């Protein structure tokens, strides 16, 4: 899956000439922590909520209600742009974008073309949707997991067994936890008994939450 296929294209942004009050109104309305700043369609930086709060007058200001609008009409986003923006391209694999978000502890990423044009963004909600989709949850069926040795052919063996049982294969994913390798499968059936019995006969260890119960008790 690529970033460009899952990015949000309903863009909310400001320009460097936008008033800081306009940026504040957008953040309040859309409940955003930051806004991308665009110049001639290209991403040049971003502004954070804390920047906006710094720029806005405090309740203790000595300015009169007549002076305040005049002063604020001259304060633009340009004075508060942060240049350390991290962006991704639409061609990037979405798991790589997720890794960047996790490593940098970011709630989202701007998506830009090679020329720097802002075309979308992705956030944590997008990543959660991708996880649910890739695990095949919405396609129904039943899920099982096995412990396996990290060796070639395991996926093919289990997939072949599923095929032999006349079942439709929905999804598969691999995980590693404390040196335990786990393969998770979703199959379009309500009864996994024949599959699990065959796996046990072939020496596979079926994994369930009880194996890890001591971690959360």
What pLDDT sits at residue 72?
Answer: 52
Q: How far is CA 210 from CA 40, 100, 142, 199, 216, in A?
A: 57, 33, 18, 18, 10
What is 3-123's CATH superfamily?
Answer: CBS-domain (3.10.580.10)
Comparing 33-47, 169-183, 184-198, which segment has the lowest mean pLDDT?
A: 169-183
135-216 shares the fold of 3-123: no
**pLDDT cut 70: percent of the chain above it:** 91
Question: In this structure, which topology does domain 135-216 adopt according to CATH?
Answer: Alpha-Beta Plaits (3.30.70)
Domain ranges of the chain: 3-123, 135-216
71-89 pLDDT, tens per residue? Answer: 556 688 888 899 998 999 9
């Amino acid at each position: 899956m690529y970033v460009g296929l899952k990015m949000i294209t309903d863009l909310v942004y400001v320009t460097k000439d936008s008033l800081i009050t306009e940026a504040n109104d957008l953040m309040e309305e859309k409940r955003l922590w930051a806004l991308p700043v665009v110049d001639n369609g290209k991403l040049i930086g971003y502004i954070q909520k804390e920047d906006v709060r710094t720029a806005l007058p405090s309740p203790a200001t000595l300015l009169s209600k007549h002076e305040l609008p005049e002063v604020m009409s001259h304060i633009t986003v340009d004075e508060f742009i942060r240049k350390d923006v991290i962006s991704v391209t639409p061609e990037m694999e979405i798991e790589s974008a997720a890794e960047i978000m996790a490593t940098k502890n970011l709630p989202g990423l701007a998506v830009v073309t090679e020329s720097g044009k802002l075309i979308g963004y992705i956030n944590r909600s997008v990543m959660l949707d991708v996880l649910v989709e890739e695990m095949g949850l919405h396609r129904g069926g039943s899920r099982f997991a096995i412990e396996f040795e990290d060796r070639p052919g395991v996926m093919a063996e289990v997939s072949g067994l599923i095929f032999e049982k006349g079942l439709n294969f929905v999804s598969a994913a691999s995980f590693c936890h404390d040196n335990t390798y786990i393969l998770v499968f979703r199959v379009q059936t309500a009864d996994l008994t024949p599959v699990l019995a065959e796996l046990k006969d072939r020496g596979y260890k079926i994994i369930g939450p009880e194996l890890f119960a001591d971690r959360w008790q």
